[in-house]
Structure 1
Amino acid sequence: MKIFIAVLLALALAAGLAAAIQQDSGYILIAYGQTTVEMTIWVGLAVLTVFLLLVMFIFASLRRGAKVGDSIGSFWSVRRAARGRSHTTLGMIAFIEGNWAKSRKLLTDSAKDTETPLINYLLAARASNQLGDASGSRHYLGLAEETSNKASIAVALTQAEMQVENGQLEEALATLTRARRNAERHPSVLTLLKKVYIGLRDWGSLLALIPDLRKHSGLSEERLAELEREALMGQLEHLAQQGDVTGLQQWWKHVPRSWHKDAGLLLAYSRVLVAAGDSSGAEKLLRQSLKLQWHSDLLKFYGLIAGSDVAKQLSAAEAWQKDHSDDPVLLLTLGRLSLRNELWGKAREYFEQAYQRSPNAEVCFELGRLMSNLDEPAAAERFTQEALQLQSQSLPSLPQPSLSNRSA
């Protein structure tokens, strides 16, 4: 029905057009210079229609050709991207397997055909480093930095890690210092700086870094405490080599107050003070500390040093018996302090009490030595033999030569 109506309309339009042409054909004159063109208006309309149809045909052909070109270009782009991904993957596999030369070739060949050339160049730089090619490493790090204006931190970290691997700690520190200006709180920068400071034994810088590590590195409080203890112990070791008592005392004043209660640091500091000639200062420090916290290692060392007033030192230790009367380490310490005060009978009594509560090699050796000097050789021999036997209990059970074999 629709086709029939369309045909009727077309016939009616054609009939009307024919009648219009017969009634008045019109006139068109086109003049350009010495040239003139004459035609009826209907012929002009026909020429114009043909011209417009030709323009539309050409335009449609160009669009179709452009689409075909785009399709061809897209095809090759997809092919290159797929090849880039494939070679990048193979390069990463070769890198993991330690095939550095193959890895570098695959990664660099495919860098321009992948969406992530930064990764390719960074791994190529690492592969070059493994091959001992320092100039190659620098070259690929430079290419990596050109891939993005945000690549500087990744490039700096890669360079610093390679420098650390090569033992170039000073160079790594310089690289990380520059990186930290742009990324002060970057966790990886802070973590690598920590490693460099430990390697350089730069304990002051490590201590200064710990607050930032606490905020941004994700390290546990236990690990941070270990780092802080390591740094403090490192500083103490350095000061111990100098033997400067005043410097040691000033350092202790600047140690955070929370660490003044750490038994391990207290004991190490006390030992260094004694070695530097300040036994009096060590005795005073330990005496004050033992009032606040009871610790066997601190107590034992207290009995091994001589303060400025050994009688007062013994009295202070005896006062602790009120709360720790059954502590064998306290009894051993009291015996030693009694010896320092030349109170032989009291020393023997304390040693014997310590022996009764916890017979060990250390107490037996003290009793053996004291008995020998008190002219009691039998008792001295007995305690000395027992001390040797107790001491040998830490040795593994192994065959020993018998008397008969020894004579042979």
Structure 2
Amino acid sequence: MKNLIIKILLVVLLLIVGGYALDKLMTEVPGYVLIAINKTTLEMNLWMAVLTLIVLLIALYWGVKLLRLSWRLTRPALGIRSSESAAKLANRGMLAYMRGEHDKAQRWLLRSAKKSPMPLVNLLAAADSAQALGDTGKALGFLDKAKPDFGEQSVTMALARAEIFRRANNQEARLETLLEANQQHPNSVMVQDRLCDTYMELGSWAEVREMLPRLRPQLPKDRWRELQGKLVIADLKALQTQQANEEPSEASRKLQMFWLEQASRIQQIPQVCAEYARSLIIVGDSKEAESTVRKFLRSSWHKDMVLYYGLMDSADSVAQLSHAEGWLKRHPKDAILLLTLARLSMRNHLWDKAKGYYQKSIEAGPTREAYSELARLLTSLGEHQTSGLVYRDALRLDNTDAPELPMPPMAAAKSESNEEAQPEAAEQHEENAEQAAVKS
């Protein structure tokens, strides 16, 4: 408090001294200012002129600040944004785009595009948001606003346009866009990759077969292997159609010859191997199909092929189960293998064995398939209370359709003959399992 009083007294003293000095100066130094413009003259006291100049400078300073404030307030309403505000709006738009809020994203990104340091990025993201909302016309319109000024940007915009057509399921327009881009940029690997993919979607396998050799040295090995695998799958399906009226033995021989012509790295693609096995089953050679899948799994353990083995239609399902159980030594805690064993047990009407494998599969790694199929089995066995609990657990996981498998008769309708059939099947299975173990 004492310091404050001292400061006030000092200010008052300075004002008194300053006022006295100013009065003395104005009294002892008289003068006037004369301003003449043509025939008009303006004359005033020197000190009045100085005071007027000071007031005018202060008014000018605050006037400029007021105009700036008014401009900032009215600029958004007029659709005019500064670079800083546009950058902030673009940032909000990109964050909304990443969150999947496409309605907000396309609005904010488009409004900030003109002042954005990266307008093409704004327009690409806005177009993708519009397409995500199902408005293909608006998405293409956003891309039309862009004016790429060099090759890389031009390729990017062409690829973006092709992607919009792909998501709109307009493969013809996608093909036309990519063909035009390929003419303008014949050395673009990405354009040729997408072009090859489009030919596959349209079923133009002759064009794919022509392009793949040229793409091989340019594409990553995994991508080229994927494209080559799709071509082989298409060839297998074509063989299935051609062999519809052929003798099963001849059809199987042709399939095996075709398979031997393929490189080992192509044979090791799960989808390709599964399609080959499916083709063999169609012509009635399930034994060779099983052998092919088992050979694949010996060299490369893959869950999709393990699942496929459990869904194969085999002429000898008992031997199929025995072979699969032989894999348990190396993969005792594999949930997918245990699920496959449960399904093969179901095909052999070994209900108790199937129940045990389903439970072990769930313990190793819960899946909705295992829960759903176990609950369905328990219902058929009359264990309704336990089945309800298993169904409840199944609902917590992702939805998956259960495959068609043999089921035991409902508990209320079971006959003694059905109950006696299971031990006989189990005894035969155990005998086959022992033989398979000795061979392995």
Shorter-normalised TM range: 0.3 to 0.5
State the structure with bigger RCO (CA 8 A, min sep 6), 1 or 2. Answer: 2
TM-score, with structure 1 as normaliser: 0.45
- Decide which structure has the larger Cα Rg and report it: 1
